[in-house]
A and B are shown apart, each in its own frame.
Chain A
Amino acid sequence: MNNVFVYCEIEGTQVQEVSQELLTKGRKLANTLGVQLEAVAAGSGITGKVESQILPYGVDKLHIFDAEGLAPYTSKPHTAVLVNLFKQEKPQICLMGADVVGRDLGPRVSSALHSGLTADCTSLEIGPHEDKKNGKTYENLLYQIRPAFGGNIVATIVNPENRPQMATVRSGVMKAEVLDPNYKGEVIIEDVAKFVPEAEYVTKVLDRHVEAAKNNLKGAPIIVAGGYGMGSKEGFDQLYELAKVLHAEVGASRAAVDAGFADHDLQIGQTGVTVRPKVYIACGISGAIQHVAGMKESGIIISINNDENAPINTIADYVINGTVEEVVPKLIKYYKQNSK
């Protein structure tokens, strides 16, 4: 009862990284609260395959739901798993990844349980809350912290009365760390039929293509990122050229993605990927909070911008006042010259 739960997303028999990141965070939250960490894994043919990918993060209890209809993921059966499990176990906190699955599942579960859900949190903390209207004080609430309003402000959200307190978090925001490779957690193989009525299996997946990620933004030591200031899709070509020379990956700000200059999976920021490269070269990126939230922990930040007041310049280690068209070819030229 009152434990911290993490819904583990599984592709085939592979537990997704974002889930392991959340297990790590969940362990810390559980320690602060003095409760246990529990994990939920639902899929098909996963028993015996996922335990070693979950328990080492400090999971005290793992609930496995293994049935044919649970993979690939569809909304209603997974909702039924969580809703009925939560009615039984009454968790105080539930975390899930803010990717397509988590953002499909989280709201559905919160709607069924009438519990609050905060999407795309960038930070989670435990703390007290005083409700000035009803004069009540709450201890140990989950602070769900996220940029809001297009990334112009940061809001702290709490769910004082309803449980579980639910939050989704993007991939890369938290760091995955194995607590103990031999951590002794209990594994419970649940009877799926007790949780998921036959009538819930309504979506038929006719066809499915999943490709391994085309880029390796999360793990890249050097990232060249372009913003709206790149001007066009063609403008990004020179970034690819620079990235090739530096053995870097190309990323983009949300404004550039929205404008169609770059693919969605290149988006860095609160609603994209969070990255921590050694070197981050921001080209024509103004630096909205929602972008900065996803790259501020980079080692060295270089900003190339013709607006010397661009907000990103305040967090940059090097500011180059100039246009991307002018500076990027020079970076390529002098890198080639000096690296020989």
Chain B
Amino acid sequence: MKLNIIVLAKQVPDTRNVGPDAMTPEGTVNRSALPAIFNPEDLNALEQALRLKDQFPGTTVTVITMGPGRAAEVIREAMYRGADGGYLLTDRAFAGADTLATSYALATAIKHVCPNVDLIIGGRQAIDGDTAQVGPQVAEKLGLNQITYVEEIISIDHSPLTIDHCTTSEGRARNGQWSMVNGQSIIVKRHIDGGVETVESPLPCVLTVNGSAAPCRPRNVKRVMKYKRCLAPMELPQGTGFGDLPYAAEYEKKPYLKLGQLSCADVNADLQQCGLAGSPTKVKNVENIVFKAKESKVLTGSDEDVNGLIKELLNERLIG
């Protein structure tokens, strides 16, 4: 069995290590002060995909990321770890997208790149927004089932569940390409509030993976050597082509060094549903929150101070 797997990954500012210079005095985000990283849970998602590739040779793992030229770094990083290739979805028309417009663009790209996809896997959420919305929204746009909060893929097999009609939640049959369900199903373990669940879903479907799932394998040195010169056209200096690069001949000989790149027009996306225009949510305002400072009593860690505090709390019947 060979699977076609799409991994959705995002390059995000590392909001976990925010320094004092992360915000401008005007209260906007100073992106240049934050390193751009592979969204952590997308790495957990990649690992689940790579495990399936280990188990089913011939499986392809393709990364799709939406963002500016530098986001192609995410594709290279995934390739160093075992992904087969990827596409940078990039266009000015995608700028300012909220989760809904983002999922529209991603769903459109998936249909274009891989109409016979078996599995779409992404992280549960990205650390710059923490919304966990894009996975389910992509699933709905494609009329596919979803399993969120995935901890582990237990098995995939040809078997029990067979459905011959994929429908959207409106109950309307989707266009032919999503109806080719081949009787495969997937069994996964997922987290739910206060517990765990093991569920089975027909393929194709969308999974979103938790950060507590298995960590991603490290880079493979041979793969780093092989793919380190991979570039998306968007990363080249403006007005230049692969032929102008110092190692131009290599790009001729090894076409895999040219990463896929897709614009709005390439995937036939409806401009009205992309970027700011396609985003129902608007940011009304953004503020730096200043909490009302209280008058605090400042103590040291000395025996005397700690003893005094405990006595005070006990006297006020706050503890005890």
Contact = CB atoms under 8 A, between A and B. Distances in A.
Contacts of A292: 291
A111 B140 contact: yes
A323 interface: yes
Interface string A82-125: 01100000000000000111011111111110111111100000
Interface stretch (B73-81, B112-120, B124-132, B247-255): B124-132
B100 A335 contact: no
A54 B233 CA distance: 57
Contacts of B200: 203-204, 206
Contact of B307 (A108, A209, A338): A338
A180 interface: no
Contacts of B145: 75-76, 202-203
A189 interface: no
Interface stretch (B49-57, B61-69, B295-303): B295-303
Contacts of B287: 153-154
Nearest to B154: A206
Contacts of A301: 294
B147 to A, nearest CB: 7
A213 B193 CA distance: 9
A213 B194 contact: yes
Contacts of B196: 208-209
A279 B310 contact: no
Contacts, number: 285
Contact of B285 (A147, A156, A303, A304): A156
B133 A107 contact: yes
Main secondary structure of the interface of B (DSSP, over half): mixed
A157 B137 CA distance: 19
Interface in B1-46: 13, 15-16, 18, 22-23, 27, 29
Contact of B286 (A100, A148, A289): A148
Contact of A150 (B15, B149, B169): B15
Contact of A334 (B127, B170, B291, B310): B310
Contacts of B152: none
Contact of A112 (B169, B195, B285, B301): B169
A320 B300 contact: yes
B100 A211 contact: no
Interface residues of B, number: 89
A156 B283 contact: yes
Contact of A321 (B103, B134, B135, B300): B300
Most buried by B among A100, A114, A151, A258: A100
Given A153-B289, A279-B319, A292-B291, A318 B309 contact: yes
Interface string A60-98: 000000000000101110011001100000000000000
B318 to A, nearest CB: 5
A30 interface: no
Interface in A247-274: 255, 258, 264-265, 271
Contacts of A101: 192-193
Given A100-B148, A152-B29, A316-B294, A119 B130 contact: yes
A180 B202 CA distance: 46
Given A152-B23, A339-B320, A100 B169 contact: no
Contacts of A72: 197
A227 to B, nearest CB: 13
A311 B200 CA distance: 46
Given A318-B297, A322-B300, A158 B291 contact: no
Interface residues of A, number: 104
B276 to A, nearest CB: 9
Interface in B191-224: 191-202, 211-212
Main secondary structure of the interface of A (DSSP, over half): mixed
A299 to B, nearest CB: 7
Contacts of B13: 149
A314 interface: yes
Contacts of B135: 107
Given A119-B132, A200-B169, A334-B310, A208 B15 contact: no
B271 interface: no
B284 A158 contact: yes
20 contacts: A74-B199, A76-B169, A79-B169, A80-B171, A83-B169, A84-B171, A100-B191, A106-B136, A110-B100, A111-B139, A116-B281, A150-B18, A152-B29, A154-B289, A156-B283, A160-B282, A204-B201, A205-B197, A296-B291, A321-B298
Interface of A: 72, 74-76, 79-80, 83-84, 99-101, 103-112, 114-120, 129, 131, 143-144, 147-162, 197, 199-200, 202-213, 222, 246, 255, 258, 264-265, 271, 278-279, 288-289, 292, 296, 299-304, 308, 311, 313-323, 326-327, 330-331, 334-335, 337-339
Q: Closest 10 CB pairs between A and B?
A: A322-B301, A150-B15, A116-B280, A116-B281, A111-B140, A210-B195, A107-B133, A162-B280, A111-B137, A107-B136
